[in-house]
Homo-oligomer: A and B are copies of this chain.
C-alpha cells in the first residue's frame, strides 16, 4: 500500500485525483502549497510525490530540490504548461516524470505504477569484490571462496578485502595496519600476522583452494591465484 503525497492548489483537481487514487488502494496525503507540502513531509513518508509546478506560494521545482534531500521517492510533475523548456527544467530539478494537463486518470495511474515499479526494483546491490571463485561482501561480512560462504570477523574481512582488491600485488604490514587502524604502531607485524593466520583457518585455505595468501621475505602479503 504505497503512500502518495499530492501537491496541488486546485481543489477540484485535488478532489478528483484523491478519490481516484484512494480507490486504487493508495494512501493519499494532500497539500495545497509549498509550505504545507514541506510540513507534510515531516510526518508522512511518501513513496511517490505528485507535484503541481505552479503553486500559490512558490515553484514546484524548487520544492523538488528540497524534497530530494529527504527522500529518493519518484516525483511526477503535473502542469498545464507543455513547453519544452519547462519539461527540461522539471527533469533537471530531479523529477522522474512529467504529465501535462488535461490528462486521463488511467494514464496517471499507469505512470504512477511505472515509477513505483522502478523504484522498488532498484535492488540493494551491495558493494563487493568479485573475482573468479571468490566474492567478498562487505555488507554481509562474508567471503565466498570456491563456492563456500564464510562469515568473517571485521578485522579478517578488512585484511582479505585489501588483499583481494589488489590481487597479485605486495601489501606491507604497515599499509594494512595503517589502513585498518588509521595509524601505525611498533608491533603492527604481530597483530596482522595473527589475523591473517586466523583468516586462513576460517577460509579453510589449503592446497586445493583457488587462492593462496603468501608472505614475502620483506614483510609483505600477497593474495595469489593458484593455477594447476
Contact = CB atoms under 8 A, between A and B. Distances in A.
A117 interface: no
A25 interface: no
B127 A169 contact: no
Q: Which of A66, A140, A161, A168 is the most central at the interface, judged by chain B CB atoms within 10 Å of its CB?
A: A168
A132 B224 CA distance: 39
A168 B73 contact: yes
A124 B127 CA distance: 13
Interface residues on A, range: 35 or more
A165 B169 CA distance: 32
A141 interface: yes
Oligomer: number of copies:
2
A127 B140 CA distance: 13
A166 interface: yes
A69 B225 contact: yes
Interface string A139-159: 111000000000000100010
B47 A170 contact: yes
A19 to B, nearest CB: 22
Given A124-B165, A162-B124, A216 B72 contact: no
Contact of A45 (B66, B158, B222): B222
A167 interface: yes
A186 B127 CA distance: 29
Interface of A: 3, 38, 42, 45, 47, 66, 69-73, 119, 124, 127, 132, 138-141, 154, 158, 161-162, 165-170, 179, 214, 216, 220, 222, 224-225, 227
5 contacts: A45-B169, A45-B220, A66-B227, A70-B168, A72-B169
